[in-house]
Amino acid sequence: MYIDKSSANSTHKEIDAALRIWNRGVISLIDVRHNLISPEEALSGYRLPANVFLYTSGGQAEILLNDTVYNVKRYGLFHGVKGTELTITPRCDWLEYYMVLYKAAEPPFHRGEYRRLMEQVNPFRQQYGYMPHDPLFFSEELRIMYEKWKDPTPLNVFYGKAAFSRFVYEVYKELEQGLIHIYKPDLVIMATRFLDKNYGETVSINELCEGLGISYSHFYRRFKQQTGKSPQEYLIHVRLTAAAEFLQNSQASIREIAEYCGFQDERNLQRMFSKNFGMTPNAYRENTSHHMRDDDLGKLISFSYNGESRVSLDKPGEKGAAYMFKQMKGKVAVAAAVSMILLLNACGSAPVKNDSTNSAQSRTVTSQAEQQVEKATKIVSTVRGDVLIPQSPHKVVVMNYAFGDVLALGVTPAAVNDYWAIAGSAVEDLLKDIPRASELEEVMSIEPDLIITAYEKDEDYEKLSKIAPTVSFGTAKETTQLSTEERLSFLSQVLGVDDSVKDKVLSDYTSHIEQARQTLKDAGYKDESVTLMNNSLEETDIVVSTYKGAQALYDELGLLRSEKGQELYEKGEWYANISLEVLPEYCGDYIILYGDGNNNAFSGNGVYESLEAVKNGNVIMMNEYLSTFNDVISIRSQIDFIVEALLAHKPQS
């Protein structure tokens, strides 16, 4: 049902339409039930055979209507739809409840008007829950209805029909006057139930938040406050608990268990399992008996796992998070729409007393807090489209090459990946105390609020973006062709860094370059050409554009490429794979060999030894890892290395 939030009278119009439908519809009372249950006798997964009004009293309880969870404190009145799965879990010694089941049908006359009203609102399809303002009326009315219903004489049956009309009247009177406290769905419990059931799928916390209609930041705070764990921690522990039980009770291989429990691969399960259990999966399997008690397992993983939600390892689920949200989102939206009716109604002209006043104030504060959360976000444009990110991210995971630029802007990453060889690079010492996170579960365990990456394949980018908002520089070529100013400007915007910080970094960087250029000029370097070449006989790569130190060499220091190198560069080629026979055509006055900085792979080769640069001793060995990155810190180090190496040689006349 659509609710016009801009109109204070819209809810009254909806209720008026609903009452006209109740008046015109053919309503039949099917059954009145009563029960008193303990936590051990919880009603679980009962499929409603008809529409129902449910009333609970006596203490706290958890009411589950399909995927929507409500927490009741003292009294609760709920409306559920035929076919809904109902679970009642007492959180007190004893809980009393009544169920009034009914069905509605079209009237024999004036069906056109009835159907037009049903297009505005269908009160028989609404799901909602609230704490009644006058619980004693409902308790007494339902008690008498039940007593009469047990003795189904014609007079008692007629009483039930009349009492049901009075019951519905009181429900709508409280809704219209706003004398109620709305039970909002418990989104955290809904989320944990979903994670318990779908741990083996590729789960997106961001999509989960979207399906629940809540911002990531607000959901994260509520989830951690309510469970003591972040959503990512909870998911990882559910997966590990499931893996531990499969190791203990099945003969499935480690690879099969890893795949079934949602881990990226076998190696990832090995790593995460060892980190959390202090032993490998194989060691755990050997050290635990088939009859290990459940409470012993609970001591290893410190939260409960819903074992009933598991299915056979032979029949993994075929529908993942995306399918679930298509099904779930509509249900949540319906519950939210009805809750909005009640919420706007409760804020109407009628005075609200006692707990209702506090509730309204609490809802106002919550609404304001959620608005502040939304204001704390911004949209940035990337090569992969617009991305909504935090205004000032606090836990940033940096993937690929941007480590140095992020550090230069004064931001310390919460973690970096170790796919790239950081050892020997200019940022090695700066990153030595920062955690490594390469596998998806490791990134997830960091609980980042932002991920910065580049070079990712579409599928890898999608996986990262399901963990947290992810910004990308694009492909390797797109990334390396960005200027230093473009990179720093983009990153400062993403990281929420003040422009003055970025400008100072750029100013220092520019000054360093100008000083290096002047140093070479003073040493007599003018028109000498330099060739970058891979230090390998197996595959000779002559680099001719911004790759492996080329930005420092050509763009910043202004040194020249060889004639052939310039031709390739102007064609947009990064490098040329050439044979040794044509090597002399590509080599300039100086050669920089990057790779193994200690051993020259070309040493003793006749063609190589015949090169003028080699004869003149103008060969510089450069560590490949020093030349890997093109951030401001790495390029400054590359410039210093190149200038120092060139100063050790006399320029050609």
Give DSSP secondary structure letters for 16-79: HHHHHHHHHSEEEEEEEEEEEE-GGG-EEEEEPSSEEEEEEESS-EEEEETTEEEEESS-EEEE
Query: Which tokens is 103 given?
Result: 């069905």
Distance CA 170, CA 180 (A): 12
pLDDT tens figures, 62-116: 999 887 888 888 899 999 999 899 999 998 999 999 999 999 998 888 888 888 8
Q: 121-130, 168-177, 311-320, 503-512 — which one is most confidently predicted on average? A: 503-512
Q: For all residues of the chain together, what is the average pLDDT?
A: 78
Strand segments, DSSP code E, in 117-174 are: 128-131
Distance CA 344, CA 339 (A): 9
Higher pLDDT, 205 or 509: 509
- Give the dihedral of Cα atoms 469, 471, 475, 476; nearest 10 deg: -120
Percent of the chain whose pLDDT exceeds 70:
79
What integer pLDDT is reported at residue 478 of this predicted model?
59
Distance CA 316, CA 198 (A): 10
Q: Could you tell me if 505 and 415 are in contact, meaning their C-beta atoms sit under 8 angstroms apart?
A: no
pLDDT tens figures, 521-572: 998 888 889 998 888 877 656 665 545 668 888 888 888 988 888 888 888 7
pLDDT tens figures, 211-234: 777 777 778 888 888 888 888 888
> What structural domains and CATH numbers belong to the chain?
10-182 (2.60.120.280), 236-302 (1.10.10.60), 380-497 (3.40.50.1980), 506-647 (3.40.50.1980)
What integer pLDDT is reported at residue 479 of this predicted model?
59
What integer pLDDT is reported at residue 167 of this predicted model?
94
Q: DSSP code of 651?
A: P
Q: How confident is the model at residue 650 (pLDDT cuts 50, 70, 90)?
A: low
What is the longest distance spanned by two Cα atoms in the chain?
Answer: 119
What integer pLDDT is reported at residue 435 of this predicted model?
86
Backbone CA torsion sign across 576, 580, 584, 587? positive
What integer pLDDT is reported at residue 386 of this predicted model?
81
Q: Is the pLDDT of residue 405 over 80?
A: yes
In the numeric block, the tokens 């790495």 are attached to 634
Percent of the chain whose pLDDT exceeds 90:
25
The H-assigned helical ranges of 523-550 are 550
Higher pLDDT, 561 or 289: 561
Q: Is the pLDDT of residue 308 over 60?
A: no
Q: State the amino acid at position 535 in one-letter form.
A: N
The residue length of the chain stands at 653
Lowest mean pLDDT among 289-293, 331-335, 464-468, 482-486: 331-335
